[in-house]
Amino acid sequence: MSGPVSLLLVEDDPVDAELILHALGDYGYEVEHDRVDSEEGLREVLAQDRSWDLVLCDHGLPRFSSAEALGILRKVLPEVPFVVLSGTIGEEAAVEALKAGARDVVLKANLSRLGPVVDRELREAASRRQRIEAEHDRAQLEAQLIQSQKLDAIGRLAAGIAHDYRNLLGVVVGFSGLALRHLDEDHKAHGYITEIRGAGERAISLTDQLLTFSSTNEGTPQFVDINAMLSELAPMLRHLLGEDVRLAVELAPEVPPILIDQGRLEQVIVNLTANARDAMPDGGSFSLQTEVRESENASRDVVVTARDTGVGMDELTRARIFEPFFTTKNAQQGTGLGLATSYGIIEQAGGFMSVESEPGQGAAFSVHLPAADSQEGERSEAERRAAGTETVLLVEDNDILRRLLEEGLVSSGYVVLSAHDGIAALEHSQRHDGAIDVLVGDFMMPGKGPELISQILAERPQTKLLVMSAHPAPPELSGNGRANGFIAKPFTLAALAARLRELLDG
């Protein structure tokens, strides 16, 4: 093994130094070296934050021993091979040097042995580095696995409580909506109930953010006014950024709606804001800007740009910034999943994310989403509420939620057969002489709910099925030849009515 080698030579005799370098050169090494001859010189050169392939140290320095040199070096460059050179070292001293951590002892009278020793030490040092890198990679993979398992546990826990929690939120939002139908806007209670409904909707968004790390929730796309959403988020974002960071929200006029789950889009904005805050430890400014751009296929994109004045990123970091588990933060500050999750949310909605940044110049993350049909997006909730006259078999084990849904469907004109479990639903089906146009039910109920619902559907093959759940659409929804639908809890009465009409009219 020959070629370039970087050498730190601790030697007080210039003649011996020349002989050592000459021996390595004859062996085929191209040596770049630094030479010191005292403790002060060694400490000074080590303070320069440099590294070498090998250290050769004379054992018999006048005021400085090789053992002392080894002790100093091990504190700064513990992995660099250290070889002792000597003209008169005894066997006992050589053994002590090896016990202290020297890799070998070479007599100056036998410098022909130095080349092979350097060969061996460089190979073993390279092997040690590979092992250390492999152990580091393994440790990183283990840490990622542990983090993934933690997130999976969080996801399963969230999924476990989501069903009941979403039912409660659905009751809050649903009954608030019913109450507002019967109150004029100038009624004193109208504002109070509006606040209650708004709090419920925000709680739904928080629940969805928790479920994002679980495969149990892919969100419910809806038409979102991005300008209105950012205006509502601004107060919370100011608290998140802290007093040292200025927030500016610059909204373009006449921005069309976009089709995306609003809670998941809010999470993207919060993630970008939190990352910007971490990139500005000494304060700065952060802005959110909206604009409409023409895309290459002549359609329009709504673009939200999050811009900060932070530390910025180099090219290598930019290339990996959306990779899962990649992070520039320590383990206590981040998991490396925030931007990867955000990218997945935007990609699932048909868009993409990009970043522009330079070291010391801040960063600008752009979220591109396709604009939705403006007329469709501008429909009010009242316009989207659809009446019907069909017969609905409603199966829901939560009494309060079932009463809410029954009242909402009846007020929209439907004939409702209401059941609190599968047994009651089967009894309704067997007693009812006429057609049941659609069965609206939650499969996640105690007892034999799913089996009895399946029996009803087998006895009534023309009945359509609308599953409502806080969990993903169950496998029963596919492959049975039936017209099926799914609606994620919690939902508004208007969303339920619209989903029913889609299923019944389709």
Residue 478 has pLDDT above 50, yes or no: no
Q: How confident is the model at residue 213 (pLDDT cuts 50, 70, 90)?
A: very low
In a domain, 204, yes or no: no
Instruction: Clarify whether residues 51 and 104 are in a common domain.
Output: yes
- What is the number of domains present in the chain? 3
Q: How far does CA 468 lie from the centroid of its chain?
A: 28
Mean pLDDT, rounded, of the chain: 82
pLDDT of residue 380: 44
Count of C-beta atoms within a 10 Å radius of residue 153: 11
Q: Is residue 192 part of a domain?
A: no
Beta strands in 251-401 (DSSP E): 258-260, 284-294, 300-308, 352-357, 363-370, 391-395
Residue 26 has pLDDT above 80, yes or no: yes
pTM of the model: 0.43
Side-chain-facing half-sphere of 75: CA atoms under 13 Å: 9
Q: Please indicate, yes or no, whether residues 362 and 483 belong to a single structural domain of this protein.
A: no
Is the model's pLDDT at 374 over the cut of 80?
Answer: no
If asked whether residues 231 and 271 sit together in one domain, one would say yes
In a domain, 430, yes or no: yes
13 neighbors 105 (Cβ within 8 angstroms): no
Contact 457, 438 (CB under 8 A): no
pLDDT score for 50: 83
Residues 347 and 432 in one domain: no
Question: What pLDDT is attached to residue 348?
Answer: 81
Q: Quick check: is 355 in a domain?
A: yes
Does residue 375 sit in the same domain as residue 410? no
Residue 206 lies in a domain: no
| Tens digit of each residue's pLDDT (9 = 90 or more) over 48-62 | 878 899 999 998 888
The last residue of one of the domains, among 128, 157, 190, is 128
Q: How many CB atoms lie within 10 A of CB 168?
A: 15
pLDDT at residue 136 above 90? no
Better pLDDT: 244 or 344: 244
Given pLDDT bands bounded at 50, 70 and 90, which one contains residue 394?
Answer: very high
Residues 399, 365: one domain? no
Residues 304 and 344 in one domain: yes
Q: Are residues 266 and 412 in the same domain?
A: no
- CATH number assigned to the domain comprising residue 367: 3.30.565.10
Q: Are residues 420 and 434 in the same domain?
A: yes
Among 379, 406, 433, identify where a domain stops: 379
In a domain, 182, yes or no: no
| 247 and 260 co-located in one domain | yes
pLDDT at 304: 95
Structural domain containing residue 279? 220-379
pLDDT tens digits, one per residue of 408-438: 899 888 999 999 888 889 999 999 999 999 9
Q: What is the pLDDT of residue 155?
A: 60
Statement to judge: residues 375 and 431 lie in one domain? no
- 349 with 427, same domain: the answer is no
Residue 145 lies in a domain: no
CATH number, residue 79? 3.40.50.2300
Residue type, 116: P
**Structural domain contains residue 133:** no
Task: Examine the fold and report which residue of 379, 396, 423 is the final residue of a domain before the chain moves on.
Answer: 379
In the beta sheet, which residues pair with residue 82? 55
